[in-house]
Amino acid sequence: MKPKYLSIPYIVWMGIFVVAPIIFVVFYAFTTSEGVPTLQNFAAMGRFTSVFVRSFWLALISTVLCILIGYPVAYILSREGLRLQRLMIMLIVLPMWMNFLLRTYAWMSILENTGLLNRFLSFIGLPTVNIINTPTAVVIGMVYNFLPFMILPIYSVIVKIDRSLFEAAQDLGANTVSVFRNVVFPMSLPGVLSGIMMVFVPAVSTFVITQLLGGGMVMMLGDLIEMQFLGTAYNPQLGSAIALVMMLIVIAFMYVVNRFGQGEEKAVGA
């Protein structure tokens, strides 16, 4: 039996950095600036419907794209030699050593109308594209920034699957496609699920990307919440209320996704 006291630092850490902030958010969300209990902060929420819809929609698109790009990468990677795997993982993680803002700023100079991409396109005689300051640019920025968080969990799950299972399936007459569909994919689902969580949640609350790549033309939830804390009116109560509603929707979404995932795993087990 492991000694319980080893978990004390972890519990303290979680208390200070996870539980306490949530308590603050809930407290602020249900009070006025004088600390009087109120539901006022939620009454205004309808005004922000379009921002909520847009944020969840763009986050969903980004998550799907991350799966479509990240899953094959993780799968192919897991079948390579160990040395190449290490190198590739290193290359995937490498950009994350650079500041998030800098990376997004770099995308600005790639996607701009006079940017690298368009200069290249006109150099080889193709028509230029207008991507910067559109939602497309925001999605590109999110996919780029969050893709490693999709690849890594899927990879680490697939790479641990016992190879003999594949062989067993093949011995039982399964071809490559059905080995993948009936063995690899169901067993890799936990990785996909945690990938979804690690991409979707930060994508919903992202800001800065909208400002740099989206040209500030539309707001996402992250911008809206930031504005309540750092904007002209300084309204942390409203900001907390928005954050709380966002968290509840995210939790509901994750619950559905997890139920779906568990259903799949059970189906495999049966």
Partner 1 sequence: MKRVMIVIIVFSLLLPTVLTGCGQRVGSNGVVNVHNWGEYIDESIFRIFERETGIRVNYSTFETNEALYALMRRGGANIDVIIPSDYMIARMIEEDMLEELDFSNIPNFELIDPRYKGLAYDPDNRFSVAYMTGTVGIIYNSSFITDDITSWNALFDERYAGQILMFDNPRDAFGITLKYLGYSLNTVNEDEIHEAFDLLVRQKPILQAYVMDQIFDKLEGGEAWIGPYYAGDFLAMLENNPDLRFARPTEGTNFFVDAMCIPKDAANKTNAEVFINFMTRTDIAMMNMAYIFYASANQEAAAMFAAEISAEEYAVMFASSEVIANSEVYSHLPRHILELYDRLWVELKR
Residues 205-224 interacting with partner 1 (rule: CB under 8 A): 211-212, 215-219, 223-224
Cβ burial of 146 (10 Å; 0-12, 13-18, 19+) is buried
Can you tell me which of 69, 108, 117, 257 binds partner 1, judged by CB under 8 A?
108
Q: Which stretch binds partner 1 (CB under 8 A): 67-75, 83-91, 112-120, 183-191?
A: 112-120
Cβ burial of 115 (10 Å; 0-12, 13-18, 19+) is middle
Give the count of residues interacting with partner 1 (CB under 8 A): 31
Q: Do the beta carbons of residue 214 and residue 134 sit within 8 Å?
A: yes
Give the nearest distance from C-beta 223 to partner 1 in angstroms: 8
By C-beta, is 11 or 44 nearer to partner 1? Answer: 44
Can you tell me which of 18, 82, 102, 230 binds partner 1, judged by CB under 8 A?
230
| Residue 99 contacts partner 1 per CB under 8 A | no
By C-beta, is 109 or 176 nearer to partner 1? Answer: 109
Give me the helix-helix angle, 116-123 and 100-111, nearest 10°. 30
| Residue 234 contacts partner 1 per CB under 8 A | yes
Identify which of 249, 236, 238 has the alpha carbon closest to the alpha carbon of residue 205: 249
Q: Residue 27 and residue 34: Cα distance in Å, rounded?
A: 12
Q: How far is CA 33 from the centre of its chain?
A: 33
| Residue 247 contacts partner 1 per CB under 8 A | no
Q: How many CB atoms lie within 10 A of CB 163?
A: 8
Give me the helix-helix angle, 185-204 and 135-158, nearest 10°. 140
Can you tell me which of 13, 229, 255, 260 binds partner 1, judged by CB under 8 A?
229
| Residue 109 contacts partner 1 per CB under 8 A | yes
3-class DSSP state of 206 = coil
| Residue 186 contacts partner 1 per CB under 8 A | no
Q: Which stretch binds partner 1 (CB under 8 A): 60-68, 184-192, 197-205, 232-240?
A: 232-240
| Residue 263 contacts partner 1 per CB under 8 A | no
Q: What does the binding site for partner 1 look like in residue numbers (CB under 8 A)?
A: 47-48, 50-51, 108-109, 112-115, 132-133, 211-212, 215-219, 223-224, 227-236
